[in-house]
Chains A and B, each alone.
Chain A
Amino acid sequence: MSHLTDEQFEEILGGTAPADAHLDACPACRRRLADHRAIRGRLREAFASVEAGDGLAERIRAAVRAEAPAPSPRARTVARPAPWRRWPALAAAAMIVLAIGAATLVVTSPEAHAAQRTLAEIHQAAASGEVQFHTTADTTELAEYFRDKLGFTPALPRLGQGMAIRGCCKAHFRGGIVGSYVVDTPKGVISIIVVNDMPASMGMTRRAATGGQEIWAGAFARNQMAAARLNDRSYCAVGEVPWPFLADLLTGLVPHDEQ
């Protein structure tokens, strides 16, 4: 007796063909059908509770907005409707409001806002251990991790006196991979995230220049952010600690071999 073909079998299993008369007479095919139904059911059950993590949608939104340029503020003002022209004073006032709006938009454009949010998320995920995290207090090991995974050796804060490295990890930022490390400090836990982007492109504003080094400032939710340029990279310090502390920490970064 020839058994059902694979194709017939799949059609019966999928319900697109009625059960074949052969099944009534063939215990082997009946058993095979029951086995496959059981596997299909178990497979479906195994994936039933699988959902994307909470942060993934936000991460994708941020990446999508960073990829696609937002419409320019100029285009928005030009598109204002004609009735404004009838009231010159009101129109002038409106233009001022729009100009302020445009200036605000430059600082807190969707991409910039997304960048600071992503930095905060990277810090949150690394500090809470939600991500694959390379735990090490050894700066040489951390430097090796960066060299292997990211192709450079990061500058580090001076350790001791309440400052200790917790570990490091890779993260996605604006469609690329960046490295970060977590430091326990006397003020609280912070992350140093090393990115290629300029601080201004992440919506940060220049706030102080200490010892000839320019420091930028940003914030997202409860996180303060400071950024400094070092060796053509931006070192972003993120954490729920006062901004001056982050700025001081960045000005004190030294090459790994000077630890």
Chain B
Amino acid sequence: MADPKDFEKEALGHLNGLYRAALAMTGRRDRADDLVQSTYLKALKRFDSFTPGSNCRAWLLAILRNTWLDELRRAGRAGVVVPIEESLLSGPEPVEPTKWTDAEDLLENFSDERVIAALGELGPEQRLTLFLVDVEGLSHEEVAEITGVAVGTVKSRSGRAREKLRERLLDHARQLGLTGGAR
């Protein structure tokens, strides 16, 4: 077992980034806390295999992702959502892309919580990919390493996830009467 002090020194500095990712994944602060703690305990057990000087944040995020997917699988909720959503979205480009009258103005109507909740309505892999690309500003290559897919998949997945998030927010805007059904 690794020395906990070495581990804390190396890994705990990434707590906030990991917590944000966990919140993006779970959508709930209490579950994000639990997920982050499980991630750190798993990481501690594997710390002997971590190469000092390599990308610790990416290493931790990959463990967080796997931990979350395992939890979903155990709960019987993964393995179905992602392929269906992605297959629906992988069709031909829409002839006329959806329109927002003024995207920025419309987005200002949503609280931070609402935006985070809308992200949580995406499939697990889309959610994480979009979070890592857009919020954490990681390169497509880093995200590919974390999520275990090709760089091209990260690019198409993040674009589609953003598209999907936009649709979700537009639906909510309609429900709130913020838009007259424009698409």
Contact = CB atoms under 8 A, between A and B. Distances in A.
Whether chains A and B associate is yes
B8 A64 contact: yes
Contacts of A52: 15-16, 18-19, 33, 36
Contacts of B130: 43
B33 A53 contact: yes
A175 B42 CA distance: 11
Choose among B45, B160, B166 the residue with the greatest number of A CB atoms under 10 Å from its CB: B166
Contact of A69 (B1, B41, B135): B1
A46 B114 CA distance: 9
Interface stretch (A32-40, A86-94, A141-149): A32-40
Contact of B23 (A14, A40, A50): A50
A56 B36 contact: yes
Interface residues of B, number: 56
A32 B97 contact: yes
B26 interface: no
Interface residues of A, number: 45
Contacts of B16: 50-52
Contact of B37 (A7, A68, A172): A172
Contact of A49 (B8, B33, B112, B159): B112
Contacts of A3: 93, 97
Contact of B112 (A34, A38, A40, A46): A46
B107 A44 contact: no
Given A51-B19, A63-B37, A64-B7, A45 B12 contact: no
B115 interface: yes
B24 A47 contact: yes
B60 to A, nearest CB: 12
A38 B107 contact: yes
Contacts of B119: 43
Given A28-B97, A57-B15, A60-B40, A47 B1 contact: no
Contact of A65 (B4, B45, B135, B140): B4
B29 A53 contact: yes
A64 B44 contact: yes
Given A7-B156, A172-B37, A56 B165 contact: no
A67 interface: yes
Interface in B12-65: 12, 15-16, 18-20, 23-24, 29-30, 33-34, 36-37, 40-41, 44-45
A38 B15 contact: no
A68 B1 contact: yes
A40 B129 CA distance: 12
Given A6-B159, A7-B155, A28-B96, 14 more contacts: A3-B97, A10-B156, A32-B97, A39-B162, A40-B162, A43-B131, A43-B134, A46-B116, A50-B23, A57-B15, A64-B4, A64-B41, A67-B45, A68-B1
Interface of B: 1-4, 7-8, 12, 15-16, 18-20, 23-24, 29-30, 33-34, 36-37, 40-41, 44-45, 93, 96-97, 99-100, 103-104, 107-108, 110, 112-113, 115-116, 119, 130-131, 133-135, 139-140, 152, 155-156, 158-160, 162, 165-166, 169
